[in-house]
Amino acid sequence: MSDTNSNSTVPETSHVPVVLIENVNPNVRNMEYAVRGPIVARAAEIDSEIKNGVKKPFAKVLPANIGDCHATGQTPITFIRQMQKERAKKRILAGCRGGSIGSYSGSPGVEVIRQDIAAYITKRDDVPSKSEDVILCTGASDGIKTILSMLMTGKTGNERAGIMIPVPQYPLYSATLTEYNAQPIRYFMNEENNWSLDISELRRAIEEAKSKCLPRAICVINPGNPTGQVLTRQNIEDVIKFAHDERLMILSDEVYQHNVYAKGSEFFSFKKVLMEMGAPYNRHELASFMSASKGFMGECGFRGGYFEVVNFHPAVKACLLKTISVKLCPPVAGQAVIDCVVNPPVLGDPSYDRFMKEKTHVLSQLKEKANLVTELFNSIEGIKCNTVQGAMYSFPQIFLPPKAIEAAKAKGQTPDSFYCFSLLEETGLCVVPGSGFGQKEGTYHFRMTILPPLEEIRINIVKLAYGSPRLSGNDLHLCTFINKWRSCDSYNIL
């Protein structure tokens, strides 16, 4: 190359970016994911402002927007972090190529871990499970997206795939369907009956959708996110019958299966119920999902998860294995963590006593917080909350005065977003508006996790319900916020 060419320059102003927002995939551009949306971004800014000395009417932001257990103060379960114990060395590392978790595993996961998961499912359901039906994945989210991608038709218009999703729903589903250009078939959970699932509503939703798409599957989240409900066995049987009648695959999101708190509530896996119902239902296609991020373990950062496929046609199963092979394999460290979840210490193991003590403590704390939050919200005028039966979230309904709704519209925000932004700025409490999860028109909610330490919930939230004159600092400000919103008479934003 000549000196002239090497020294030549092109004016910077002449460059036009190849990728502009106008030519980014419109499906990606239109995706929304509320739990990491603008309110959370503002919470991070406020947190930074406080650290830099900016005075706020509260000492710190209370993150109650996302189900990240360790980020909100939960101590990791000791056993799950004991990766060098003898059993891990002898079993998990022996199942890795070269005896190292730094090597690739098979695309479906380390075989001995798949065997442990199958044994766990068999014991849980009293129904046989095979390791070849278990697929490890990078968190349950990755597994859900993998299965959804296989259900797409590759067509548009009324021939594109339709997927039934609950309202409210974890926004992974709506975001993924937007990304895949699929048709969400929204069915409403029954808030008046503790977020149960009405079959008449399923029928309404699918009949309205049949002219717009090809319905392929129904997604069910149990225990529920964001609603915290636990479906009864009868409810699950009704869903299975509906799915069979409508020829819909069942996607069962069961990542909170260890989190059941309410008296009389019990977790039943869809697989267990489906198999015990007998023919023809026990031959119906199902994929169920589990994660290391939730439950009592809360190991979100390891991105460990699995899904089990049931009754898949052999050719479809082969296609699934081809699909996941493109990703090479999920993180092996995450696979090892999910193995700890499904294969915990047993009586007689050196780690057993400590493990049981820590597990019992975490779940008992979550149960206490579930009861506390339910009681708290129902004691405040203008807020109504169903019993938090399971999972790790509350989803209270807020009844906003007309002035608040008008002010929100004037700012171009949904009323619940307006409320949540104000709540964050005034009190430091970071929650997610219900519009990010879906809700019936004319109703307003927010999702709040029950993960922060019990005393932080008690100090920063509970006392606001009573307006105690002895409150100070954060507590006094929370009371002021609620009272102002209740009347809207003196709220300066309005």
Take residue 476 and report the two structure tokens written for it. Answer: 């006094």
Tell me if 349 is assigned to some domain: no
Residue 115 resides in a domain: yes
Does residue 63 have a cis bond before it (omega within 30 degrees)?
A: no
Q: Are residues 91 and 47 in the same domain?
A: no
Q: Could you give the angle at the alpha carbon of 403 between the alpha carbons of 399 and 407, nearest 5°?
A: 105
State the pLDDT at residue 466.
Answer: 42
Per-residue pLDDT for 68 more than 90? Answer: no
357-385 per-residue burial string, b: 16 or more CB within 10 A, e: under 16: ebbeebbebbbebbbbbbebbeebeebeb
For residue 484, pLDDT beyond 90: no
Q: Please state the domain count of the chain.
A: 2
d(CA 189, CA 197): 5
Helix or strand holding residue 345 (H, E) = none
On whether both 285 and 337 belong to a single domain, the answer is yes
Average pLDDT (367-396) is 89
**CA gap 326, 454 in Å, rounded:** 44
Which of 316, 342, 368 is a domain's end point?
A: 342
Whether residue 15 is contained in a domain is answered as no
282 in a domain, yes or no? yes
Return the amino acid letter for 293. Answer: S
Q: Identify whether residues 85 and 37 lie together within a single domain.
A: no
Edge-to-edge strands, sheet with 214-221: 134-137, 305-310, 286-291, 249-253, 214-221, 161-167, 183-188
CA angle 13, 15, 21 (to 5 degrees): 115
Residue 11 is assigned to a structural domain of this protein:
no
How many beta carbons lie within 10 A of that of residue 38, not counting itself?
13
Q: Is 88 or 267 the better-scoring residue by pLDDT?
A: 267
Give the model's pLDDT for residue 418. Answer: 87
Over 70: is that where the pLDDT of 477 sits?
A: no
Rounded Cα gap, residues 184 and 234, in angstroms: 25
Is residue 13 domain-resident?
Answer: no
Mean pLDDT, range 295-303, rounded to an integer? 81
3-state secondary structure of 254: coil
Q: Is residue 253 one of the residues assigned to a domain?
A: yes
In a shared domain, residues 89 and 186: yes
CB atoms within 10 A of CB 201: 17
What DSSP state is assigned to residue 311? S
| Whether residue 109 is found in the same domain as residue 153 | yes
Question: 62-66, 430-434, 457-461 — which is least confidently predicted?
Answer: 457-461
> Do both 187 and 336 map to the same domain?
yes
**Model confidence band, residue 301 (pLDDT cutoffs 50, 70, 90):** confident
Residues 334 and 360 in one domain: no
Q: Are 286 and 271 in contact (CB under 8 A)?
A: yes
Q: Are residues 294 and 383 in the same domain?
A: no
Domain end residue (candidates: 342, 376, 404): 342
**267 plus 132 within the same structural domain:** yes
| Across 71-75, 151-155, 320-324, 387-391, least confident range | 71-75
Residue 245 and residue 182 share a domain: yes
Q: Note whether residue 90 is domain-resident.
A: yes
CATH number reported for the structural domain that contains residue 173 in this entry: 3.40.640.10
pLDDT at position 454 is 77
| Residue 110, CB-side half-sphere exposure with 13 Å CA sphere | 30
Domain that holds residue 404: 27-73+355-487
List, for residues 235-290, the tens digit of each pLDDT value: 999 999 999 999 999 999 999 999 999 989 999 999 999 999 999 999 999 999 99
The residue among 342, 375, 405 that closes a domain is 342
In a shared domain, residues 229 and 173: yes
What's the mean pLDDT when you consider all of the chain? 83
Token code pair at residue 82 = 């004991």
- What contacts 158, CB < 8 A, 6 or more positions away? 211, 212, 213, 214
Q: Rounded to whole angstroms, how far apart are CA atoms 393 and 396? A: 10
pLDDT digits 0-9 by tens, 325-343: 888 888 888 898 899 889 8
Average pLDDT on 155-184 reads 92
Q: Is 381 a residue whose pLDDT tops 80?
A: no
pLDDT in tens, 188-240: 999 999 999 999 999 999 999 999 999 999 999 999 999 999 999 999 999 99
Strands 249-253 and 214-221: parallel
Q: How would you write 370-429 as a 3-class SS string?
A: HHHHHHHHHCCCCEECCCCCECCEECCEECCCHHHHHHHHHCCCCHHHHHHHHHHHHHCE
* CATH code for position 67: 3.90.1150.10
Same domain, 235 and 338: yes
Residue by residue, DSSP assigns 100-111 as -TTS---TT--H
In whole angstroms, how far apart are CA 239 and each of 85, 196, 247, 252, 317?
A: 43, 11, 12, 11, 24
